[in-house]
Structure 1
């Protein structure tokens, strides 16, 4: 995932050139020069003109066998390309299966000579893609960092960000909704693919603690894990990523915009599909001082 810069051009996942797919990219798993015998035998077990086989081929070959380097933006572009073709009542989908005159591609030996009702095949393909790639397609529609930065300050999140995340029940099970921490410490972020997590710890604001808590047993500190998943855009700056963290979380429709200020000069900004908390624990001041 790019850091420190905004993506301007979507590149091919394998080649150093802009990504410009055509409809044959959808059926590339069925057509190829010198197809391996094992793949030929595997695909030849299915009849693309039989409705049940057609669904299986779409879901397990068209949609599950795209290259691992293709991301949600590649998928969005493929879906938009297919949708545009289906919106054209005169588009000839049979031509998608036919190789160019100088092309030696072939499809499985056991398949029929012609694909019946090719438009139906691609209509089913679009429906299945929207179902199986649902999260990716939503993420591709999240606003950019530039758009989020333009949100007026009055419309951004407050210090009570903890209760704007997806599963604040994990917090409420141990604490009370009014005890909202906002000045937490982190040893630094951990990146795992398209996920960012931070371990956070700090005191609860004393003035907000519930009056029902006995003074001798009142929990005064907390620790938790903040998880940010389905990141669509991320930018980092600074040199020290540990220290006190100040958080601004803005709920989008859908998704979230987060601005994390850590330590002296570190800033993490991202747009993400999900934000959640877990591993919530509470402790008393005496325990913290041991």
Structure 2
């Protein structure tokens, strides 16, 4: 169950969650003056308020799943032709200390349905990547994919940016005996430096980058050594399993998997340089 980012309870937003920056108890005078510069009934001001306030005030702890839930709630209301959007702006019943909205705003919001329709459109545009990531399957669903459908050893030709590989190696083969000094985790991203032998007595180095991780599982104690890769291209996204060293396993579902900084050399050339 999705939990509230700040409170120890289920996350159950409503339409008032979208406009909380306009309606609040004891609104700071500076914010009141700032918002009072705009007219929510003016189309241009309405668009500015939506993009620079409604979609910018959410807490940093709210992730892509919270945003997906907010969009689902808004979409559900807009799908109901009888939903009363005017009521969303009304003060909470029996809450006498509740300030309805900035003092400089008009007494009534015209065509509230239009306001929320614009809000949904802007949210789908600005949160595009988050909403795609929220649609990715779970790790459990990916693990249930039959082995024959999980991809081959030539995984480099299934990632984003294959031109980075082809620009250096014009061969239809992927090295599978690669080594890594270990993964680097940064927020919802994972990167690894890889190196290993190629065909025709050549050697390669590259950076593997996984971005937009929606679910991650890590186990083991030794994260450096030989890496065996299993990459499954989803629609959208990727399921990636990395077996590293003696006992390390990294599994994740991510929005994109790409390679960069590809380098290649002949083994004999490397040997001559060492001499």
Whether TM-score is above 0.5 comes out as: yes
Q: Give the Cα separation in 2 of the matches to 1:273 and 1:29.
A: 31
For the residue of structure 1 that corresponds to 2:176, the secondary structure is: coil
TM-score normalised by length of structure 2? 0.95
Q: Give the Cα separation in 2 of the matches to 1:144 and 1:99.
A: 40
Q: Give the Cα separation in 1 of the matches to 2:224 and 2:216.
A: 18
Q: Give the Cα separation in 1 of the matches to 2:149 and 2:173.
A: 23
Quick check: 2:225–2:245 contact (8 Å CA) kept in 1? yes
Structure with larger RCO (C-alpha < 8 A, sep 6+):
1
Structure 2 residue aligned with 1:197, among 191, 202, 223? 191
Deviations 1:101-143 (A, max 9, x none): 2332321111011111111100111111111111111100000
Partner of 2:252: 270
Report matched runs for 1:152-163 at 5 Å: 152-163=146-157
Q: Give the Cα separation in 2 of the matches to 1:183 and 1:25.
A: 51
Question: CA shift at 1:40, angstroms?
Answer: 0.9
C-alpha RMSD over aligned residues: 1.2
Quick check: 2:39–2:45 contact (8 Å CA) kept in 1? yes
For the residue of structure 2 that corresponds to 1:17, the secondary structure is: coil
Question: CA shift at 1:287, angstroms?
Answer: 5.9
For the residue of structure 1 that corresponds to 2:18, the secondary structure is: helix
Structure 1 residue aligned with 2:6, among 14, 28, 31? 14
Structure 2 residue aligned with 1:105, among 98, 105, 122? 98
Structure 2 residue aligned with 1:165, among 144, 159, 162? 159
Q: Give the Cα separation in 1 of the matches to 2:140 and 2:53.
A: 37
Deviations 1:39-59 (A, max 9, x none): 111111100000110011001
Q: Give the Cα separation in 2 of the matches to 1:92 and 1:177.
A: 62
Partner of 1:24: 16
Gaps of 5+ in 1: 1-8, 207-218
Structure 2 residue aligned with 1:117, among 111, 121, 146? 111
For the residue of structure 2 that corresponds to 1:154, the secondary structure is: helix
Deviations 1:13-57 (A, max 9, x none): 111111111110000111111111111111111000001100110
Partner of 1:39: 31
Quick check: 2:207–2:262 contact (8 Å CA) kept in 1? yes
Quick check: 2:154–2:173 contact (8 Å CA) kept in 1? no
Q: Give the Cα separation in 2 of the matches to 1:138 and 1:202.
A: 34
Partner of 1:285: 267
Partner of 2:76: 84
